Structure 1
Amino acid sequence: MTALYLPSLIRIGGGALNELPAALKQAGLSKPFIITDNFMAKTGLLGRVQTLLEKAGFQSGAFQDAVPDPTVTSVEAALTALKSQTYDCVIGLGGGSPIDTAKMVAVLAKHGGSPAQLKVPHVQDEVGLPIIAIPTTAGTGSEATRVTVITDEKTDEKMLCAGYAYLPHIAIVDYELTLTMPRRLTADTGTDALTHAIEAYVSKRASPFTDALALSAMKRIWHALPIACAEPSSKTAREQVMQGAFEAGMAFSNASVALVHGMSRPIGAHFHVAHGLSNAMLLPEITAWSVAGAQARYATCARVMGIAPSGMDDSAACAALVTALRERNHELDVPTPSTYGLEETRWNTLLPLMAEQALASGSPDNNPRIPTEEDIIALYQKVWA
């Protein structure tokens, strides 16, 4: 038996943002609280959303101080702002960080408690305020997932919080909002989405439903991402990457992610590397290590992405996949932890803790080849170089 979780109302395509008021009315919602960041405020997108709502007769409030890799402190500040008046839903506007902040605030607003009390293995299925996700990056898939990640700045732990309560009720997926994304952000978030798709497909929790979404996503993203990086105004490429990111989000929300994500979160928590970039750093070598656990599945990924011809045997297709992932990282200028400038002594000192935190997230248990703590330490050392 497979349980599936998807946003209840979805508006997708160019100009979908204009459908926000109609979607709110359809859901019976009337007073939204917007959580976003300073960049969205400075670019005028927050003002555009507020004007859109005001013209449709909605009263709204806003918190514009969401931070990258949302912290407990930033979540508490947003929650305090929300409680200053009565609101019936929370809009996350921006990249994965404002959306993740909105998810946690929506739950705490109704149930109280703290993010630390809600981290895995706790599962929060009882919903809070309805969540509306409006992504402005193509990658995190947060608009379609049942998870949020909040950083405890006191312990440098990225706390994975999961459950039905974090699934957005409404997703507004408008690729036009990504047209101004810079190259580095486009590359990193797009690779994050590619990782979602691959990991969902090889996950031990995969199903025919998630397989279809994951394969479609990886095909779109693999071909369109380099174009979106090289030609940022290409609406065709942007649309393909955004569609792929959404499909990948739905796939991994139902099949889960695996070892790449398990190892990625500690890098982000301890070294403040953007999540998509840390995934990109890891993807080729973790794939190379994992293929032995699901050779046929990884070979299918290679064929669907056009990396390996249909007649190539599985072993050769897997080798071609790993080579292509390494070459793609080079093409997109993805640094290693070393060339990115991380401190080697601190990296080596933290390896046991990072491996422990990776395993504690639960994601490595979904990997085709399940690692030990020693395996993860060795993989971190390999990725460093």
Structure 2
Amino acid sequence: MNRQFDFLMPSVNFFGPGVIAKIGDRAKMLNMHKPLIVTTEGLSKIDNGPVKQTTAALEKAGVDYVVFTGVEPNPKIRNVQAGKKMYQDENCDSIITVGGGSAHDCGKGIGIVLTNGDDISKLAGIETLDNPLPPLMAVNTTAGTGSELTRHAVITNEKTHLKFVVVSWRNIPLVSFNDPMLMLDIPQDITAATGCDAFVQAIEPYVSVDHNPITDSQCKEAIQLIQTALPEVVANGHNVEARTKMVEAEMLAGMAFNNANLGYVHAMAHQLGGQYDAPHGVCCALLLTTVEEYNLIACPERFAELAKVMGYDTTGLTLYEAAQKSIDGMREMCKLVGIPASIKEIGAKPEDFEMMAKNALKDGNAFSNPRKGTVEDVVKLYQKAYDGIY
């Protein structure tokens, strides 16, 4: 490789059991006097859960706070606006997100509209932000989206059902916290969905046109960790070692796609999630094998390498036979952890496919996909996923 590339991630990342206790001192170091804690109502009610542990650490450090519990799955513009209002009404000066991707994206969205204009939908795209967000820290509670590390803020317009992405280095939290002990009680279905999201986010950057040697190594390590840890943690959520491995994998995948970008899986999954309010990780998993089988001819050598990473012996196989083995591995993982067999099961309707295909090709993730398709191509991919992935 003989080109320049940059590499973006938070300046400080705390990892490991118990690191949430450090958040109060870190808030003081950042001169946070009254952060808005952005989370879900469910997380806020858990005794000694992630929110309670966060607020306890802030109280111990003498940092005041206010809690906003208005985050919905696939966060909506209305959530962002409600959070902005509380931030202003309570005279907050910073933001702490506590949760999975929805909380982090919503918190980023609140920061965006506070400093870059009230209509966040007009800021969709890449590097559209002129002004920095308020100081932002992220406490992560799922081994999935990687949003606590990334420059992506994914928001849903509840009126049009369209998901859009604001991609900017200004969205990257100053500090991230990944404490696997906060994740032990995540339900099995959410563990599987978020884990598959991390799996997709380790695969798409590897075949992205923007991959680089650093992201390649991160993707390989993340895939290998997920292959062993995800089935184990779906089987037993209190397996601390497996939870820790999944957090390692999620962080590696997040750093990789933050810099090498994604592809059609995410571009298309955003349409499914926006249109049918379906879980993001499930949408990604349902599209993974269909899209990557389509992509295979664009870079078969990359897929053949993935097959080896996944543990397949490709000795004596042709390049395309070896590449196909990686698709087999993707399909096996999704089936193993209980991903549905068709996008039909999350409410997808064939009459929506053309509209979703057009929007997918406009999504910021589409441009780094290794194979360039048409609206008709993407419609066929949706239809294939509708017919069944197993």
The TM-score normalised by the length of structure 1 is 0.95
1:211 aligned to 2:219?
no
Cα distance change, pair 239–378 in 1 and its aligned pair in 2 (3 A):
same
From 39, 42, 57, the counterpart of 1:39: 42
1:371 aligned to 2:379?
no
Q: Are 1:277 and 1:334, in contact at CA under 8 Å, matched by a contact in 2? A: yes
User: 1:48, CA displacement in angstroms?
Assistant: 2.5
Give, in whole Å, the separation in 2 of the partners of 1:61 and 1:310.
Answer: 59
Q: Counterpart in 1 of 2:70? A: 65
Give, in whole Å, the separation in 2 of the partners of 1:338 and 1:279.
Answer: 10
User: 1:218, CA displacement in angstroms?
Assistant: 1.2
Residue segments in structure 2 that go unaligned for 5+ positions in a row: none
1:109 aligned to 2:111?
no
Q: Are 1:156 and 1:269, in contact at CA under 8 Å, matched by a contact in 2? A: yes
1:163 aligned to 2:165?
no
1:48 aligned to 2:53?
yes
Letter in 2 for 1:69: N
Deviations 1:260-284 (A, max 9, x none): 0011000011111100000010111
User: 1:123, CA displacement in angstroms?
Assistant: 2.2
1:30 aligned to 2:15?
no
Deviations 1:337-380 (A, max 9, x none): 4551525xxx1111111001100113222111111111000010
Q: Counterpart in 2 of 1:358? A: 360
Say which SS state the counterpart of residue 261 (structure 1) adopts.
helix
User: 1:59, CA displacement in angstroms?
Assistant: 0.6
From 93, 100, 106, the counterpart of 1:95: 100
Number of aligned residue pairs: give it. Answer: 382
Q: Percent identity?
A: 31
Deviations 1:156-203 (A, max 9, x none): 100111111211111001111111111111111111011111111111
Give, in whole Å, the separation in 1 of the partners of 2:94 and 2:8.
Answer: 19
Correspondence list, 1:1-385, <5 A: 1-44=4-47, 45=49, 46-120=51-125, 123-124=128-129, 126-309=131-314, 313-337=318-342, 340=345, 342=347, 347-385=349-387
Letter in 1 for 2:207: V
Give, in whole Å, the separation in 1 of the partners of 2:176 and 2:315.
Answer: 36
Letter in 2 for 1:358: A
Letter in 1 for 2:206: Y
User: 1:16, CA displacement in angstroms?
Assistant: 1.1
Deviations 1:257-309 (A, max 9, x none): 10100110000111111000000101111111111111111111221121345
Letter in 2 for 1:140: T
CA RMSD of aligned residues (A): 1.6
Say which SS state the counterpart of residue 320 (structure 1) adopts.
helix
Say which SS state the counterpart of residue 143 (structure 1) adopts.
coil
Deviates more, 1:144-153 or 1:122-131: 122-131
Say which SS state the counterpart of residue 361 (structure 2) adopts.
helix
Letter in 2 for 1:361: D
Say which SS state the counterpart of residue 288 (structure 1) adopts.
helix
Give, in whole Å, the separation in 2 of the partners of 1:314 and 1:214.
Answer: 21
Residue segments in structure 1 that go unaligned for 5+ positions in a row: none
Say which SS state the counterpart of residue 365 (structure 1) adopts.
helix
User: 1:256, CA displacement in angstroms?
Assistant: 0.6
Cα distance change, pair 32–297 in 1 and its aligned pair in 2 (3 A):
same
Give, in whole Å, the separation in 2 of the partners of 1:122 and 1:143.
Answer: 18
